[in-house]
């Protein structure tokens, strides 16, 4: 396994304690591997135990869509790690519907709980420790779908757009405490979740193409996103807060 070192040959996150939600597959698992390679001690979570959790990471089963799951995760992080220096709020997803008005109230609430409030609730439990230590890094994982919100996943894109807005406001609040908050916004990435989304799209749109082509000519890989996260949680990004790094192969034009 490769290691990520600074100029002096020391793994750049040695001694850091990291918590990554949704780290059993896809982008989350890639983030866990990058943080482990860089020397961090990592705790991750999913709804149930999975053999795909990267070797070397601590794991706890917890449903972050619920308050009880968030409390379990925060308590376990304190017990296992002794505190959290790096928090990556990665969980997300939603079920597709035929249109915006077909999305029932309970699915709107589910989307908000998973894609927005899971991060809000977990942040609230871990920020006091970061403030006390006057250091810490939080990264929220959004989605480039917020730049082209379609009716099938409007509950998802609305929740992720709210997450980006929340991140900017939280960054402003925490900056005087030495705690940094940034967002990584992935474009179309080859993950199990991404494949499930494309299957739902095809089911509701017949032969409609849900993939398209990025200017760089390929879908993203989980490591493309993980490397952006690694940069943001490292000292190399020490003067970055309130930022949003969009990793989408140039798919969505930005002014």
- Domain-wise residue ranges, the chain: 17-247
Mean pLDDT value across residues 103-113? 97
Any idea which residues carry the catalytic annotation?
156
Asked if CATH classification 3.90.1420.10 holds for the domain at 17-247, the reply, yes or no, is no
Mean pLDDT value across residues 45-60? 90
Of the pLDDT bands very low, low, confident and very high (cuts 50, 70, 90), residue 134 is very high
Q: Give all strands of the β-sheet with 136-141 in edge-to-edge order.
A: 58-61, 41-46, 17-21, 86-89, 136-141, 179-186, 244-247
Of the pLDDT bands very low, low, confident and very high (cuts 50, 70, 90), residue 50 is confident
According to DSSP, residue 95 is labeled -
Exposure of 176 by Cβ count < 10 A (0-12 exposed, 13-18 middle, 19+ buried)? exposed
Tens-place pLDDT, residues 140-192: 999 999 998 989 999 999 999 999 999 999 999 999 999 999 999 999 988 66
């Amino acid at each position: 396994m490769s290691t990520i070192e600074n100029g002096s040959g020391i793994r750049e996150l040695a001694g850091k304690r990291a918590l990554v939600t949704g780290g059993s597959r896809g982008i989350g698992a890639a983030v866990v591997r990058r943080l482990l390679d860089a020397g961090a001690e990592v705790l991750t979570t999913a709804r149930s135990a999975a053999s795909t959790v990267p070797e070397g990471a601590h794991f706890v089963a917890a449903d972050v869509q619920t308050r009880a799951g968030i409390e379990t995760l925060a308590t376990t992080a304190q017990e296992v790690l002794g505190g959290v220096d790096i928090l990556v709020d990665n969980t997300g997803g939603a079920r597709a519907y035929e249109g915006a008005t077909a999305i029932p109230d309970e699915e709107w609430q589910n989307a908000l709980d998973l894609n927005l409030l899971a991060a809000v609730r977990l942040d609230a439990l871990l920020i006091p420790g970061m403030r006390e230590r006057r250091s810490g890094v939080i990264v929220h994982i959004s989605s480039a779908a917020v730049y082209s919100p379609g009716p099938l996943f409007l509950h998802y894109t609305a929740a992720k757009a709210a997450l980006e807005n929340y991140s900017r406001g939280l960054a402003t609040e925490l900056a005087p405490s030495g705690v940094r908050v940034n967002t990584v916004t992935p474009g179309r990435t080859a993950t199990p979740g991404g494949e499930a989304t494309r299957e739902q799209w095809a089911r509701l749109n017949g032969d409609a193409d849900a993939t398209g082509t990025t200017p760089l000519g390929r879908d993203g890989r989980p490591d493309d996103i993980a490397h952006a996260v690694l940069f943001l949680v490292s000292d190399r990004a020490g003067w970055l807060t309130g930022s949003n790094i969009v990793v989408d192969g140039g798919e969505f034009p930005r002014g």
